[in-house]
Every structure is written in structure tokens, then in C-alpha cells.
Structure 1
Amino acid sequence: MNLLGVCLVATLLAPAEGPLRIDSVVPLPAQPHASDPAVIWYDDFDGPEKRYTEARGGLDDRVGFGGAGRSMTCRYEEGERGVGDRKVFFGDSPTGRVVRRGETFTDVYWRVYVKHQPGWAGGGEAKLSRITSIASPNWSQAMIGHVWTSGETLTLDPATGVRGDRVVTTRYNDFANLRWLGNRPPARFPISSPGEAGWWVCVEARVKLNTPGKRDGLMQLWIDGRLESERTGLDWRGRYDRHGLNAVFLESYWNDGSPVGQTRWLDQFVISTRPIGPVVAPRRPVLLVGGPSPGPPRAWEAEVAGDDEVVAWRSKPVTASTRVTVDASSGSFAGPLAGADRLAAGARYAIRVRSLDPAGSGASWSGWHQAFRTASE
């Protein structure tokens, strides 16, 4: 596909059935994560399957970020706890198929895009991801930073397996010997609600280990580019310093089981020593619409703005199509980009969308969401 013709693909909804959202932005085929030396692991699930230490569940070639490619499937049968997991081990891990072997990491970011099927039921599905410090071949853990659900939102649930300078856990998930540091605060964004199903949401987390002997550890959570939850002053590991952060897991385990058969998808998975942020798209990118439930195509329009929410481009009404290219033929550039034919290079943007009735009147705009960054040139 010509990069200048990359499009924003949209699954349209009838306004009565739920608000429109931008499903995803078609990213550059070569994301910078693939060659960034700060990146520990990158998987867009589109090429040859990567070798994880553990991998359960398949890939779906019908659902992918950007409207093409594949994604990791988390499948929940009615009453079941889910299938779909990937485990990455790195650095100084004493077990597993280890990447970046021998390095020590104390500050790590990880990002994944999450999509719940339209009509999602049952609220939060418990487990999404975790980062941990594996301290022995039998998987004893010095600490764990969980990203779990709290109701329909995500929350941070840190735990330590250290007392003083000694790891006291004896196995994986040794709950009897873990000390929980507090399951809080919940994020504001209801990622597992029916009203926010049907489109891709960017979830990024960070853990910074404490300096041995100090309470200066950190855990943060961003959703769709916004800082939604943060814990400071954490004592992750006491005075222990033999192992750093060395494993990140994507998970599907739903403690109570799913009330119905349904699917969640994960895509664009990155682990890095630096902030990751959203996908990178061409300067003439595409905003695709999705939402809580499928419906017949309707007329719609979209706007693109920078972090200041000053509109940089607005589309013409879009009919009989599920995609629009951000260019001068399908809309107009505005504000500091008035008269331009593409978005600024290396800039961060977000999108909002609304449906139009047959008379051309617009429904309420969605919030600004689906952040992306443009190519640097």
C-alpha cells in the first residue's frame, strides 16, 4: 500500500446503538520499535510467530490494529476463565527463553493495544498484564507489578516478595509470602464497559524499582495516552539487588469466569526502557471508526487535533465508506496547518468523531481519543 494513501478504517454504528469511536489508525508498516535499542521486545503479531517462553491461545487474522494483520486472541467461553497468554523473559532472569540476557533493568515500560468485542459483557476480566522480578529457576519472585481490573476500569496492584535483603517467596504466585502494597488507585477510563468496546485502546504501564533500602519505587498506568493511575514511594524489593525487572506477561485469566462466550484482542506489544507512547502513522494517516455494537453504515465526520485540542484537520462528511485519509481532498487543514496538505512531522495527535443524520446535522462529538504520532519526515 502507498503510505500516502494509508487510511483510517472504521466500523460504523447507528447512533442509537452506541457512540462512534475511532477504531484505529493505520500505522507505518515499519514501526520504530523494531530497531530502537531501548526496546527489549516488540511483537505486532503479523510476521513469523515469535518464540515466547510460554504462549497459549492463537492469533486472529481477521482482527488487527489498523484494520489488517493479526492480533493475539484472548478467548473466553461461557463460565470459563479464558485462554490467551504470552510470557517474555529478559535481562537477568534465571529461567525461561531470555532476551537481552545478562543485562539488568530497573525501569521498564510496556505497552499493548486492547480491544473488546462489541457487546462485551461482565465488566472487568481480571488479568491483563504484569511485570515481575524472577529470582530463581523455580520462579520465586522478588516483586510483581500487576495491571488488573477494578470493576470496568484498570488498577495497579503492586506486591513484594522480599523482607529486608532476602526473597521469601518460594515459587510463582506464592501468595502466603507476598506482601501486597495496596490495590489502588483505579483508572477513570472504563475500558471493560460495553460502551467502550469495539475499538482499540492503548494501555501503557511503567515500573521503576526502588533504590535498595529506600522507598522510592514507582508504578504508573496510561490509557489512551493519559496518565490514569500512579503509585509513588513504593518499597518493591527492600535491600535486595541481585535481580532486576526481568519478565512481562500478557494474560487472560478471569477469576470468576466469563458470563458469556466472548473475545478480547491484544496487539502492538512493546517492552522498552523508555516511554513508548502510541503507534506511528504517516503524515497523511487514517482515522477508522468503531464502537460498542455494529450497525449499518451512516454518514460521519472526524477531526484531528494536537495535544492542545486545537483542530488541525476536519473531514468532509463521509458516506458509504468505512475509512478516510487525512489529506486535502477529503477534508481541510486548519489552525497552524491551514493550507497544508499533510500533518506536521513528528507530532502527536488525537481524533474525535461523530455521526451525521440524513439532514447533515451532527450528533455529539466523541471525546478526543486514539492518539498517534506522525512520522518524523
Structure 2
Amino acid sequence: MSPFEPVRLSELPTPALLIDRTRLVRNIADMSAMAASAGVRLRPHFKASKCLDVARLQLAHGAIGFTCATMAEVAVLLDAGITDLVWAHQPVGPAKVAFAVRTGVTVAIDSVEVARPLAEAAQTAGRRVPYLIEVDTGLGRAGVAPEDAVALAGELAAYPSLELRGVLTHEGHLMTYLGDRTGMDNAGRLVGEVLAGVAGELRAAGHPCEIVSVGSTPGAATAPFVPGVTEARAGTYVFYDGNQVALGTADESRTALTVLTRVVSTKRDGTAIVDAGLKAMSSDASVTGSGFGLVVGRPSLAFAKANEEHGYLTGRDAKALRVGDPLHVLPNHGCGVVNMWSSAYLVEGDTAVARWRISGRH
């Protein structure tokens, strides 16, 4: 991007995506320290930031590489010379199969149906594709049942063009433990125990299992600490967000990502209209069940409705707002909001000091 001259936040066009530098660096350093204390490698999920500037900070603080969700994310990191990647998604379809074979990144597999076309393409190309068996430890999305992992490994061993490196899981179901931190922590530990158990069974059956990888921000304080787990793949922690605050994973003082918006209309009684709508905030739901984000410092305001370019704020303080008033909105889910933007402003105090490109979008 072109050289950036620092500018006061009051002078920025709105809506604008902001990253607080101090909070960002603290979050990155703290998660690195947590992984180190657990004795595991940290492989952050790149989808949380999709930003090379953030990724380089994570590497500087000890991350070994990255987890990716899309081909675009993989390509951005490879082009930047960052090669230790796990593509935590089944490479299904000719384009994804060809991409996996060409790049040689480690992929996720949970069935023979996924593996067969990949193996055939790799054999034709004279390549070996590394993979992790994805295990469903409670989310109910992709992944083989824990009790079926050894049998799947046996079937996949018939494909010499595929190389088993270990197992991975995503404990996304921890997001359902709203108001129950003890239950969330217990569920996180259980995920680590189940995955470590699967790894042990694979080794006992003669299969290699170098990597035992768990992955979530709500589970980062529990699952990686289970003996036998080797890798953590948290992502949202770089920024945290409204959902993580609601879950108790972080308090609001840790949140590094906000959307700066301004009031553009007060014509409707009891409602203030702002210039941040769905295209600024995304439609990702709150774990509390409603709203498009939390207005920072204004707990009585509800952001309950949005159009593409407009947000509707209601509540006791709405009548006091005036056209031009600036507000900061904490997103429900930072990953979804980042994907809506092509760049973000890096902020120190009340000044934007840099503009960082968000380059890993579809």
C-alpha cells in the first residue's frame, strides 16, 4: 500500500476498521506464552486476521506457522514465504485437489471419499501430500468419530501418495457454553483427552502420529495442556471480540478490533442511524442471541438491526446522540468482520499510525 501519514481518528472516513496496536501485541504475546507453558507449538488460524502484518507479529512471537481455511489464505502466506501451513479443510473438487498437490501443504481428511481423488492426483504428479485425520470431538461438523479413526487410517494407508502426519480437531462446540465457564473448561480438557487418546491408538496400530492438534480460542487454556497434545491452533485471540467477552474468554479491555462509525440520522424517534451496516459488521450472530455488535462505552445502546450500509441503534442513550457523533462498535465475531474489509487502520491512542492490508480474502 502507499505510504501512510498518521491521522487523527476524528478525521478518518467512516465506517473504518480499527486495530489497537497495544492490545494486539499483548494478545499475541500472551497466547504465545500460554502455548509455551503448555509445552505445545502454536499454529494460529490465519482466518482471524487475513493480514500479513499481523501474521509477521505472530511469527516474531514464536508461532511455527499457520492454519488456513481457504486456498486464498494459503496462497497469500506461501507468496510471502511462509510455508509451514495446515489447510484445515477437506480438499474436495478438482481445483482444490490440484491446489493441494501443487502446494504440498498439509490438508485435513476425514474419509476415503475425500482421500481417493487427492491420492490419484498426487500419484499422477509424482508427489506425496501430507495430511491430518480430522476428528470430531463434539462439534458435529466435519471429522471422523474418534472410535473410527484407526480404521480410517488403515484404509488411507493403501494410498502411498498420501502421508499421515497426525490428527486435528476444532472444538468449536465450546462456543455453546455461555454462562458456564466451568463447563467450557471441562469440555476443553475432554477434547484434549479424546484427541490424545486417538493419537495413542493410531500409534499402537502402527500409524505415525507426530501432530496432535487442537484448535480454538475458548479452549486455548485447557485442551493444549492435556498430555499428548502437541499443537494449538487458536485464532480469534489476536483481536478477541464480543462473543469471546460474553463467553468469559477475555474481558473488553483485551479487544483489539472495532469498527469506527458515525451517526448519520436521528429522524426516527428513539433510534439513531449509523453508517456501519451489514457490509461493515457482517451478519455473524452474537452468542447472546441478538445484535450486530456492542457499542463501546454505551451499554444501554442496542445494535439490533442493520441494512447494508446502515445500523439502527436503540435504547436509553439513543435520544442523546446527534448527527456526526463518533462511536466504536465491538464486533460479535472478529473473523467475519475482517473478511468484509480490504484494509484496517492500526491505532495508537487517538491516532491511526498505519493502514494494513487484509489480503487473505476469497
TM-score normalised by the chain length of structure 1: 0.29
Q: TM-score, normalised by structure 2?
A: 0.30
Does 1 or 2 have the higher relative contact order (CA < 8 Å, sep 6+)? 1
Q: Give the number of the structure whose residues are more often strand, by fraction.
A: 1
